[in-house]
Structure 1
């Protein structure tokens, strides 16, 4: 099989997380694992174009990286001691998923700040370069490199274990893992200028977590939510990059294969009857995906799901989304009344939703003020431009 730099790059994105996880399992050293995998890919860049890509590229990278790591350890003063504690046989395919799961839980340990959890997850498991992670968080590469170093040092200093948590720890730790994955997805979906691949990377992590924890309904719910949201991505902006709201999207552009997969996961969750935050949000996304047109949306069902979600995750943002559903079912006045019970003064969708309901009722001056506030609070980009257009149209 021929191997140009583009093909090797694809292998890196797919296999680097597996190889890094396998080497951390062997040596217990994140920096050593990262450096060894980078060395292995540097060797691949030199050899594969002439020799061809091996039948199992990921296995080749892992074995080569392991050998490079052994060489480095032998040169270290602690080399002999560390090598005695190291499993020298290549990691088998059946153990790699466990290694990756351990690494996810290590990256998302509660001792680390939420942003640090996401940054390290992107770097180690998604194979993003430090420059890519820096772009994702709107900072420069040297600053991100320092942050990643500090995070890895904190893992070492705090003696954070490289293992799957005990059953008693798992619920809290799993929530952190899911939050990191979903934040990664949302960043890539809502702000693709940061990194166009982030949402795809998050879905890959969601698939991995689903593969490794197949009996967890919330893991299935998270993956379903991302898939059903991703299915609408092509229709979210027009050819000029301007925002298109759900009611105006061309549903012929929606990815039906992702919708079918998402629906299948939602049905699996419903059979388990253990509703959770991600499962209910996925169910709401599934109802939207079922409607052939916006006017056909089953808002009664969506409102019922939001009522249930409020009992599971009673946050102001969920309350706002429920209020929008109330307005669609019972009219703008009722929706506005629900919104005005919520305290989200710095959240631009709050003001945008108020503006829309005010406009529907003919309260144009109040709608203008609300649209102006929403546009001022919105991040620079398609959302702000849309709100400015709505402001001028009023």
Structure 2
């Protein structure tokens, strides 16, 4: 592991931990982020010639701490001197304390403070723990990038101005912050599933830690089951050219049966508790998919009933869109198109949140194709291609567009 690829690999694996360590001692998010980014900039310049150090994470944390000390010494305020002293006397490996013993998971719980708006908690933690860019987080939230940037600025200012402490939450505080923590972990997983396996692995690691920390919380179990069942399909998700292979077309013999068995067992545990929540229901949907030996054998009726339940528990435009896909299989594409059109900008009942969501256009294109309306389908495929964030998705959509043949303009 040498050169820029080595730095990139360490960044993906260790950025969140490095920021977590610096935040604990500095009490300042911006300074911690800047110091860690400075350390990686030094790594980009020096590692190609000097080689990757034996402990790259330790090197990054030490370098970031030194950079932070240098910056604080240039300041003359009392808080700066206190922060410098804390850094100078900080051990290389901070002692574990409290119920949350993982650095990154500790930072997630810290950022999910109830004083912050829910969306701000999620966005801030994705930035700090996942090291995701503002643009990537904005895509995950389906909001413009400037809007997301301002949300991050406001969240950091709120933490600073309100004096929100950087400490491990007490046992009694954990359930109150759980919703934001689960949302963060799932968004990290989704970002990884669409292009960065390291993020996917990190989300699964955090999910297992949460399940061990809070074994009596069914939504924690549900989220872990959901991620396992989705990740089990990863080997079949791309073809030899790297293009996306949608679930109905996947070669199911390539699915990871061990992950499926583990995920299905967790779903059964959730069902026995009788306290359904959004992640548990989504896990149950994926369990039904994993039960089917072929796409034609899928129990779409059961999936539709689960989406009806999900709409009652946690309604959202994305859930409504997924429900419409199930309606297409149970009642037909015409009925589903009517539902999708209620979510499409420019039509009655439009939901602006989906305006730039490429999946909406892809679903509508497929329904129009099935209804033998190729010209309209082509326009929707073109819109989906323009909005899709990943090359695999664009390649797949371009193929589907090409299968329609030339269209009159």
> TM-score under structure 1 normalisation?
0.71
Q: 1:19 to 1:241 in 2, by over 3 A?
A: closer
Q: 1:157 to 1:336 in 2, by over 3 A?
A: same
Which runs of structure 2 are paired with 1:364-379 in the superposition (5 Å)? Answer: 364=372, 367-368=373-374, 371=377, 374-375=380-381, 377-379=383-385
Residues 1:26 and 2:39 aligned together: no
2:96 to 94, 97, 103: 94
In the TM superposition, what is the alpha-carbon distance from 1:281 to its structure 2 partner? 0.7
- Consecutive unaligned residues of structure 1, counting only runs of 5 or more, are none
Which runs of structure 2 are paired with 1:35-114 in the superposition (5 Å)? Answer: 35-38=34-37, 42=42, 46=46, 53-54=53-54, 58-59=57-58, 61-62=60-61, 65-66=64-65, 69-70=68-69, 72-77=71-76, 78=78, 79-82=80-83, 88-92=90-94, 94-95=96-97, 97=101, 99-107=103-111
Query: Cα deviation per residue 1:34-67 (whole Å; 9 max; x = unaligned)?
Result: 344455554798589869844x654565456445
User: How many residues are matched?
Assistant: 374
In the TM superposition, what is the alpha-carbon distance from 1:294 to its structure 2 partner? 1.0
Residues 1:179 and 2:183 aligned together: yes
Does the CA-based 8 Å contact 2:18-2:36 persist in structure 1? yes
Q: 1:234 to 1:112 in 2, by over 3 A?
A: farther
Query: Cα deviation per residue 1:224-245 (whole Å; 9 max; x = unaligned)?
Result: 3233223334434434455533
C-alpha RMSD over aligned residues: 4.6
Which runs of structure 2 are paired with 1:212-223 in the superposition (5 Å)? Answer: 212=210, 213-215=213-215, 216-223=217-224
- Consecutive unaligned residues of structure 2, counting only runs of 5 or more, are 346-353, 387-393
For residues 142 and 344 of structure 1, what CA distance do their matches in structure 2 show? 24
Q: 1:316 to 1:143 in 2, by over 3 A?
A: closer
3-state secondary structure, aligned to 1:378: helix
In the TM superposition, what is the alpha-carbon distance from 1:13 to its structure 2 partner? 2.9
Q: 1:111 to 1:378 in 2, by over 3 A?
A: farther
Q: Please say which of residues 347-356 and 375-384 is displaced more in the overlay.
A: 347-356
Q: 1:37 to 1:250 in 2, by over 3 A?
A: same
Does the CA-based 8 Å contact 1:16-1:127 persist in structure 2? yes
Q: 1:62 to 1:299 in 2, by over 3 A?
A: same
Residues 1:283 and 2:296 aligned together: no
Q: 1:339 to 1:159 in 2, by over 3 A?
A: farther
Q: 1:90 to 1:183 in 2, by over 3 A?
A: closer
Q: 1:224 to 1:271 in 2, by over 3 A?
A: same
In the TM superposition, what is the alpha-carbon distance from 1:104 to its structure 2 partner? 2.0
For residues 85 and 352 of structure 1, what CA distance do their matches in structure 2 show? 53
3-state secondary structure, aligned to 1:309: helix
3-state secondary structure, aligned to 1:244: coil
